Structure 1
Amino acid sequence: MNTTTGTGRRGRTLLVAVVALTLTVVGAGFVASAISPPPAHQQGTVGLKQVGPIDEANGFPLWYKDTNNVKLELCLDPNDSNCIMGDVPDPTKPVSFPDNFPDEAFWSAAETSIDYGSGTAQLVTAVEAAFAGGPAKAGDQVSFGRIRLRASGLVDNAEYTLTHPFGVDRLTAEPGAFKGINMTEDIGALTPDGVFDQTLGSRPGPFLKWDPAVAPAAPAGYLGDVTQEHAVVGSPYNTNFFRVEGPRGSFTGSTQLCQDPGLGNDPVALDDCIQTNTFFVQGKLATRMGVQATQASYSTSGAGQMLDIFATSETGQQIVVKGSGVPQTRMREDASRPGRYYARVLTDGPPPSDLVVTNVSDSPATVDHIAPSLFGDKVHVASAVYDNDTRTLTIVAESGADGATLSLRGDLPRVTPTVAQGRTTWTIPNLAVPPPEVTVTSAEGGSDSDDVVVTGGEDTALDVTAVITSDATQVQTNQTLTLDGLASAGTVSSYAWSVTPATGARLTPVGANGSSVTFVATAAGTYEVALTVSGRSSTSTARTTITVASPNVAPVADAGTDLAGAIPTSTVALDGTASQYASAYAWTQAGTDPVQVTLKNPGTANPTFVVPASTQPLTLTFTLTITDVNGTTATDAVRVVTDPGTVSVASASYKRGNQEWRVRGSAKHCSASNLMSIYWNKPAAAPVLLGTATPALALGVCDFDFRLKNTPTALRPTAAGTVTVRSAYGAESGPSGFALQ
């Protein structure tokens, strides 16, 4: 069993950390801000701590900081031997955004692997920059923290414990010929919105760095040399190693067996545990703190304009405002919220086009241009009140710019406002539903929003409507039938049941509120059951007819119609509700079926099971046996035929220069759950899992595109060979040849 997996930038499934977002609208532009999640470890106290200002040169944060106050910048120098990054379109030219920019880069990365007789275990951790749509593109910037765990050649269905610097993961090895674990966890700002705080909730923090007590020392300005393995420190749990524990015999032949027999599943054996204490580490210490203008607005001041400018940076920086016609002004820092800066400056005209905030503490100085479109007059919504009795919405707003024309934004009826003493008032009558908030914009570019306050009395309660639900309408004498009124609409305060004729049948309440009853008739005939529900201001009655047959009538079993095309991993519900006079249900599967499944709730009319994966379609047969109140039985069978689909490989290659695998193909079933697993049929060894890809539908074709960059040594072929692709549903393609380039 593999959880969320991924590899490369394409064919990847991302695990998204859900973080509430708020939008603060200021001036003509807006600044998105996130509710930062706490660090991932030790009750939210240890991990990643802060994200730096956005670098206007590429749209990514200049740095991330951990709870040890270590700040790392994004490694973007292809000539820096201590940096790893994605390919740039033209390696002969300098990195520039977006035309010659890598599709992925890293603030931090740490990787290690362990070889053993049957396979390789690998750990990758990183804080990564990438693009949601693939290649570099403005507006598509994303960031995330990654934990990737891979291990091949393991014991089928066995559980393994993987301990690493950022936690413990317990995973079950995928069964079949291609045994292994492949788990990737990406948590962060995976939806492009210019906000990167969500990555602070990911696990790869604090940053791992070379252990200073072990020679050699890390290169100056870096956490380590990415080309050399080295002991590390930084784990919040003091687990500065990568260890895999499992059943006895899992790692026979490894030179990195644990020396403590107490580790692993077997109390005596040593070949149930492997461990390494060295990692390849990347991390470049940030040399610039940066600055980012976050808000800007203006208001009329005599014949000029007063500009209010807000910015963020690291605490203790010298931030100044510059621009034509604006006196150079140093911004002051908010002592209660370090790293927040503010300045008020006066200009004779509109905000200049060359207005910037500059961090002169940086070398070279960091500059963030304030686009004129960011500015607007100060708009304030004084009140927004909806009267529920009169259905009238009243909004009052004002602007800091004299004579500014204000407008309502959003899907509201157009009305002519009144303007008096600098305030604009909109009165909107006959509004059936109030908006949760209103936004007022100015022709000068300003904007403000406020929640709508609702006054007045409550709405009239809905009339109630009685509804009776029942498993059947035909029963035998002395057979118990349950009738339910919970589907009744409206706010029901009481339920009243009755049966006609009253002789020969009885109703017994079920539960405390009487919403359900059981019906039993001692004589054959036709009975009418009535349910009257009462609400706050109304009542409603529903009726249903129940036909009671003689106790000697034969039961009839109906297992439903045969089902074809059941997709593996989906859940199928069998249906025996059309059976007659069933007092008990019992479902069984044919023992001659090629695969046995687990039926959930086999003693009900509608049991379920999960369709098994298989390389070929399977025919599964299920028999329903019903028993009536007299003990008489009846049977019926239903067949379910599965469809694992097909997989094909269009091209496969390994590029030695880039150390990159590339496998493309198509699948019949296009679903995020139909993960494609790509295996290299390694010569003289068991097939090795390279990674996974998620198929995607484009122009009516379900394709997958797998890429593995910076391939680990153990996965690098030296000659052309073959690959095999298997879908999560069981379909398989291969062996298919790959080219060595």
Structure 2
Amino acid sequence: MKRILGFLLTVFAVVSLAGLASAAVGPPGVNGPGLAEVGPVDPTDGYPVWYRDHTGLRLEKCIAQADPMCPARGPLPDEAAPVSFPDNYPDEGFYSLTSTTMNTAGGGKALAAIALEQAFGSGPVADGDQVTFARLRLKITNVRDGVDYKFTTPAGTKTLRTSKPGLVFDTEDIGIGGKGDFSGALGGRVGPFLTWDTYPTDPALKPDASGKNTYVGDGTTPHKITGSPYGTNIFRIEGPGINPGATDACPSVPGPVADCVETDLFTVQGKLATNSGVAAERATYSRSSLSSGTVDVFASSESGPQSIQISDSSAGSAAFSTTALDGSGGRYFARIAFDGPQPPATVTVTNSSDVPASAKKIDVVDRVSGKATFNTDSGVLSIEAVSSDTAGARILTAVGFGQLATGSLTSGPLAAPPASVTVKSDAKGEVVLPVEVTGSARAPIPVTAQAGADQTVHEGQKVDLDGSASSGPVSTYSWSSPAGVVLSDPNAARPSFTAPAPGDYVFSLTVNGPGGPSTATVTVTVLASAQAAANAGPNQLGVQRGAKVTLDGSGSAGAATYSWTQIVGAGDPIVTLTGASSARPAFTFPLYKYPAGSGALTFKLTVGSADGSSSEAQVTVTPRADTVAVTSARYTASKREWRVDGTSSIPAGQAVTVHLGGLDGTVLGTAVVDATGAFAIRVTSTVVGRAGQSVSVESPLGGTTTGFAVRVQ
């Protein structure tokens, strides 16, 4: 978005509203009471007429052509012409704006801005893109990195660190919303509205005929304020080296306090709302004959006494005379009789208490009511609806399902119903009907037993049965075995046994649960014992460090027992094998740390058979290293800052380590490789950079690079 024109010189030059569409919306810290109410939408520009705080103070948007009391707004395309929407309208403005700046150490500047703002979500003026939000913006320049700074403002406290080197910048926008709903800003840090401490009787704030000010500040003059819900009508920063001088700069804090600056002077902009506005909520007609009927009109406005009227704004002669609405608590209503063969097409709701009067035109539509039901047994959706116009033979249509005949429609069978159905009338009325459900409840997924694939084994071999592939919400497993075969745990999903004499053995698995029981069988063919022949599986290449690796000795012949061990070479890390006495043990491949070896790990499998023979085999697991490269390395002496950028061929989120000199040199910092394969470190260090130095990088996935020259500046 454009910057605000003439935004209070220095203060406004740094309070930029650029980037609203992508502004971070974060939760507030210590929150005040917020605002109490948002007024009706002004039909002339699509923004709320006013916002009210909990004290009853109402402020309106202040975007007049030339109002010296409201200087902060976006520029008009033609500053010499009156404000008009959308052709000559600012791209941003304020209901309330309180801001201040002060000097900090090292020539720095600090800013606080608290605002209730109107703008456009995409930037330029566009009808339908109106948004409002409550903003707290905090900023300091030329500060130390990596330390905390505590901000105390009229809107509460926040503790922040640098967002960029030497800069604290934080923007909190609450309630960005539009499309007619501007209530989100009620939950922000704005509220109650901040005013000059001399409000409401300061002559400089243009008192009205009753002597009450019409503005809460003049928008330009630094002034003491009131209204903070925390009693902190100041802007204070506490943090290392923030005070630009030797004197106590925070007199409101018991002290003296060395690392502290504050001010109690703010510029305040805000104009009291004079109009209440009006919102036309609904206008529906009903009739049973073609000669007359009634129109029900619902409206809302300010809670106080308002003169709200309804008139026929249709072309041609009026179907009824102007009528007053009754009101209470901000709600207004009237039922009006009309004569003639057609109801009024539109009506205008007017708040004649406003100067000039506020008005909102609204279409008069029929009222549609009905019911939608879905039966789970038949899968049929039934829709019934009627119009309040029983004399006009209205056509009703269920969106997505078709036209209702004599007020009803059935559709189906459907696999699943919608949550709601919208029924529209040709007289523009519509209703959203929640779908009511009748019929039987759906049964849970039934359990199905899976006993695993048939197996062929040798006598004396350990055999694992596997029912873990059984589906559904299984509550219990129960295995039955042939006579003489003892299972390790017949109630487990994966029991085991020692293969008996040669023959075919049938095992039965029964699972229980919803829809159960279910039974399946598996046949295990036992052959005569054979001489052991170990098979540790093929060598595994390209394994990623940090990943789980499974070894596989299930191809061994005559194996009654398994025993896996690691053959440790020079520099090899020692791993822990889970299930070392099973056919398929597993381990996690270690991450790289200089000076590790080449990385390949070797494992030995020893199998024994029932005939007493044994056999050995080996398998090697080799990791795949990433390729790392440094693209730039520099040291900034004035900031004592190291910056190293680079890339990795594997964007897996690993944290690379940067060393000064070789891989055994001082660690400068670590950085995580992002999804694009890039990494960057930004650190302030006591390690001093000098000409002729280089950096090296190691990755936990095994990649290394050395000898990249450092540029000192």
Indicate the TM-score class for this superposition, using the shorter chain for normalisation: 0.5 to 0.7
Is 1:204 paired with 2:190? Answer: yes
Query: Quick one: structure 1 residues 256 and 9, their matched pair in 2 at CA, closer, same or farther if it must change by over 3 Å?
Result: farther
Q: Tell me the SS of whatever aligns to 2:123.
A: coil
User: 1:629-708 residue pairs with structure 2 within 5 A?
Assistant: 639-640=625-626
Give the letter for the 2:320 counterpart. V
Q: What's the offset of the Cα at 1:521? A: 11
What residue in structure 1 maps to residue 438 of structure 2? Answer: 455
Deviates more, 1:458-467 or 1:78-87: 458-467
- Of 225, 241, 246, the residue aligned with 1:249 is 241
What residue in structure 2 maps to residue 152 of structure 1? Answer: 141
Query: Quick one: structure 1 residues 11 and 319, their matched pair in 2 at CA, closer, same or farther if it must change by over 3 Å?
Result: closer
Q: Tell me the SS of whatever aligns to 1:198.
A: helix
Give the letter for the 1:231 counterpart. K
Q: CA–CA distance in 1 between the matches of 2:396 and 2:134?
A: 43
Q: CA–CA distance in 2 between the matches of 1:161 and 1:182?
A: 13
Q: CA–CA distance in 2 between the matches of 1:306 and 1:620?
A: 89
Q: What's the offset of the Cα at 1:301? A: 5.5
What residue in structure 2 maps to residue 10 of structure 1? Answer: 19
Q: What's the offset of the Cα at 1:159? A: 2.1
Query: Quick one: structure 1 residues 367 and 120, their matched pair in 2 at CA, closer, same or farther if it must change by over 3 Å?
Result: same
Q: CA–CA distance in 2 between the matches of 1:125 and 1:63?
A: 17
Q: CA–CA distance in 2 between the matches of 1:114 and 1:444?
A: 62
Cα-to-partner distance string for 1:416-448 (whole Å, 9 max, x where unaligned): 63x3xxxx2223342332222222222222222
Pick 1 or 2: higher relative contact order, CA cutoff 8 A, min separation 6. Answer: 1
Give the letter for the 1:57 counterpart. T
What residue in structure 2 maps to residue 47 of structure 1? Answer: 34
Normalized against structure 1, the TM-score is what?
0.62
Q: What's the offset of the Cα at 1:274? A: 1.8
Give 5+ residue unaligned stretches, structure 2.
1-13, 206-212, 313-317, 453-463, 500-505, 525-531, 554-563, 567-585, 606-617, 633-713
Q: What's the offset of the Cα at 1:329? A: 0.8
Give the letter for the 2:439 counterpart. G
User: 1:186-335 residue pairs with structure 2 within 5 A?
Assistant: 186-190=173-177, 192-212=178-198, 219=205, 220-246=213-239, 248-253=240-245, 257-259=249-251, 270-300=257-287, 302=289, 303-315=291-303, 316-323=305-312, 324-334=318-328
Greater Cα radius of gyration, structure 1 or 2: 2
Query: Quick one: structure 1 residues 531 and 508, their matched pair in 2 at CA, closer, same or farther if it must change by over 3 Å?
Result: closer
What residue in structure 2 maps to residue 139 of structure 1? Answer: 128
Q: CA–CA distance in 1 between the matches of 2:224 and 2:202?
A: 10
Q: CA–CA distance in 1 between the matches of 2:204 and 2:521?
A: 80
Q: Tell me the SS of whatever aligns to 1:364.
A: coil
Query: Quick one: structure 1 residues 253 and 454, their matched pair in 2 at CA, closer, same or farther if it must change by over 3 Å?
Result: same
Q: CA–CA distance in 1 between the matches of 2:336 and 2:591?
A: 69
Q: CA–CA distance in 2 between the matches of 1:608 and 1:229?
A: 60
What residue in structure 2 maps to residue 669 of structure 1? Answer: none
- Of 113, 120, 126, the residue aligned with 2:109 is 120
- Cα contact 1:440–1:447 (8 A) shared by 2: yes
Give the letter for the 1:392 counterpart. V
- Of 167, 185, 200, the residue aligned with 2:156 is 167
Q: CA–CA distance in 2 between the matches of 1:620 and 1:10?
A: 48
Q: What's the offset of the Cα at 1:331? A: 0.5
Q: What's the offset of the Cα at 1:277? A: 1.6
What residue in structure 2 maps to residue 535 of structure 1? Answer: 513
Q: CA–CA distance in 1 between the matches of 2:260 and 2:541?
A: 50
Q: CA–CA distance in 2 between the matches of 1:313 and 1:503?
A: 85
Q: How many residues align?
A: 543
What residue in structure 2 maps to residue 346 of structure 1? Answer: 337
Q: What's the offset of the Cα at 1:104? A: 0.8
Query: Quick one: structure 1 residues 497 and 69, their matched pair in 2 at CA, closer, same or farther if it must change by over 3 Å?
Result: farther
- Of 52, 55, 72, the residue aligned with 2:59 is 72
- Cα contact 1:40–1:46 (8 A) shared by 2: no
Q: Tell me the SS of whatever aligns to 1:200.
A: helix
- Cα contact 1:625–1:633 (8 A) shared by 2: no
- Cα contact 2:65–2:81 (8 A) shared by 1: no
- Cα contact 1:406–1:440 (8 A) shared by 2: no
Q: Tell me the SS of whatever aligns to 1:358.
A: strand
Give the letter for the 1:442 counterpart. S
Q: Tell me the SS of whatever aligns to 1:326.
A: coil
Normalized against structure 2, the TM-score is what?
0.64
Cα-to-partner distance string for 1:570-593 (whole Å, 9 max, x where unaligned): xxx953446789999xxxxxxxxx
- Cα contact 1:165–1:241 (8 A) shared by 2: yes
What residue in structure 2 maps to residue 266 of structure 1? Answer: none
What residue in structure 1 maps to residue 377 of structure 2? Answer: 389
Give the letter for the 1:307 counterpart. V
- Of 86, 92, 95, the residue aligned with 1:107 is 95
- Of 425, 438, 442, the residue aligned with 2:421 is 438
Query: Quick one: structure 1 residues 556 and 319, their matched pair in 2 at CA, closer, same or farther if it must change by over 3 Å?
Result: same
- Cα contact 2:26–2:172 (8 A) shared by 1: no
Query: Percentage identity across aligned positions?
Result: 34
Query: Quick one: structure 1 residues 271 and 551, their matched pair in 2 at CA, closer, same or farther if it must change by over 3 Å?
Result: farther
Cα-to-partner distance string for 1:564-616 (whole Å, 9 max, x where unaligned): xxxxxxxxx953446789999xxxxxxxxxxxxxxxxxx9849999xxxxxxx
Q: Tell me the SS of whatever aligns to 2:124.
A: coil
Give the letter for the 2:102 counterpart. I
Q: CA–CA distance in 1 between the matches of 2:330 and 2:124?
A: 33
Q: CA–CA distance in 1 between the matches of 2:596 and 2:297?
A: 72
Q: CA–CA distance in 1 between the matches of 2:249 and 2:521?
A: 72
Q: What's the offset of the Cα at 1:494? A: 3.2
Q: What's the offset of the Cα at 1:620? A: 14
Query: Quick one: structure 1 residues 6 and 77, their matched pair in 2 at CA, closer, same or farther if it must change by over 3 Å?
Result: closer
Q: CA–CA distance in 2 between the matches of 1:325 and 1:74?
A: 37
Give the letter for the 1:331 counterpart. L
Q: CA–CA distance in 1 between the matches of 2:626 and 2:193?
A: 52
- Cα contact 1:146–1:184 (8 A) shared by 2: yes
Query: Quick one: structure 1 residues 361 and 560, their matched pair in 2 at CA, closer, same or farther if it must change by over 3 Å?
Result: farther
Q: CA–CA distance in 2 between the matches of 1:57 and 1:463?
A: 62
Q: CA–CA distance in 2 between the matches of 1:380 and 1:536?
A: 41
Q: CA–CA distance in 1 between the matches of 2:433 and 2:597?
A: 60
Q: CA–CA distance in 1 between the matches of 2:467 and 2:235?
A: 56
What residue in structure 1 maps to residue 80 of structure 2? Answer: 92
Q: CA–CA distance in 1 between the matches of 2:228 and 2:595?
A: 50
Query: Quick one: structure 1 residues 301 and 520, their matched pair in 2 at CA, closer, same or farther if it must change by over 3 Å?
Result: same
Query: Quick one: structure 1 residues 260 and 640, their matched pair in 2 at CA, closer, same or farther if it must change by over 3 Å?
Result: farther
Give 5+ residue unaligned stretches, structure 1.
19-38, 264-268, 470-480, 523-527, 563-572, 585-602, 610-618, 647-741
Give the letter for the 1:63 counterpart. W
What residue in structure 2 maps to residue 362 of structure 1? Answer: 354
Cα-to-partner distance string for 1:101-127 (whole Å, 9 max, x where unaligned): 111111111112221123222111111
- Cα contact 1:222–1:283 (8 A) shared by 2: yes
Q: Tell me the SS of whatever aligns to 1:186.
A: strand
Q: What's the offset of the Cα at 1:272? A: 2.0
Query: Quick one: structure 1 residues 484 and 541, their matched pair in 2 at CA, closer, same or farther if it must change by over 3 Å?
Result: closer
Q: CA–CA distance in 2 between the matches of 1:504 and 1:624?
A: 44
Alignment root-mean-square deviation, CA? 5.1
Q: What's the offset of the Cα at 1:465? A: 6.0
Q: CA–CA distance in 1 between the matches of 2:286 and 2:54?
A: 40
Give the letter for the 1:200 counterpart. L
Is 1:494 paired with 2:488? Answer: no
Give the letter for the 2:98 counterpart. A
What residue in structure 1 maps to residue 68 of structure 2? Answer: 81
Give the letter for the 1:50 counterpart. E
Q: CA–CA distance in 1 between the matches of 2:442 and 2:235?
A: 62
Q: What's the offset of the Cα at 1:468? A: 12
Cα-to-partner distance string for 1:57-102 (whole Å, 9 max, x where unaligned): 0000000111111111011114111211111222222211111111
- Cα contact 2:477–2:511 (8 A) shared by 1: yes
